[in-house]
Amino acid sequence: MNKKIITTDKAPAAIGPYSQAIEAGGFVFASGQIPVDPATGNIPEGIEAQAKQALTNVRNLMEASGLSMENIVKTSVFIKDMNDFAKVNEVYATFFDNDFPARSCVEVARLPKDVLIEVEVVAAR
């Protein structure tokens, strides 16, 4: 199997033994993106701002892969509180045109750096 490591300084650096993204078999598998501003290391307040930053990090990672948000075929969204589902959807919808990827969204007990959201994607070349 041929695989390519994808990295960018426009998304948070890996904080463990993993890659930001891997391309293999015509797909890009991106690690979960949390809402850390890669330029400052800051985490914005509130679910809407955190969702926007996490998805901006996803978009930047896609661009580093030579792709766009339109190439994403599957997303996994992890949120701290399912009561934020509607707010997350509002922000999420602004990052895609009409053809939304398949998606799962689950509430989790805790996320890295105690953020409110993490977004993981798979894109097709």
Q: In the 8-state DSSP scheme, what is residue 51?
A: H
Confidence of residue 22 (pLDDT cuts 50, 70, 90): very high
User: What average pLDDT does range 1-18 have in this prediction?
Assistant: 93
Classify the C-alpha dihedral 99-104-109-113 as positive or negative: negative
Q: Strand 72-79 and strand 102-107: pairing?
A: parallel
Q: Which alpha helices (H) appear in the chain, and where do they start and end? A: 47-64, 85-93
pLDDT for res 15: 83
pLDDT for res 98: 83
User: What average pLDDT does range 11-34 have in this prediction?
Assistant: 96
Based on the residue annotation, tell me whether 11 is a catalytic residue of this protein. no
Contacts of 31 (CB under 8 A, 6+ apart): 14, 18, 19, 20, 21, 120
Contact status, residue 90 vs residue 50, Cβ threshold 8 Å: no
Average pLDDT value for the chain: 97
The model scores a pTM over 0.95: yes
The domain locations on the chain are 3-124
Contact status, residue 59 vs residue 72, Cβ threshold 8 Å: no
Task: Report pLDDT digits (tens) over 49-76.
Answer: 999 999 999 999 999 999 999 999 999 9
Task: Indicate if the pLDDT at residue 85 is higher than 90.
Answer: yes
pLDDT for res 116: 98
Which one from 43, 49, 105, 122 is the annotated catalytic residue?
A: 105
User: What average pLDDT does range 72-93 have in this prediction?
Assistant: 98
CATH T-level assignment (fold) for domain 3-124: 60s Ribosomal Protein L30; Chain: A; (3.30.1330)
CB burial readout 77-99, b (16+ within 10 A) else e: bbbbeeebeebbeebbeebeeee
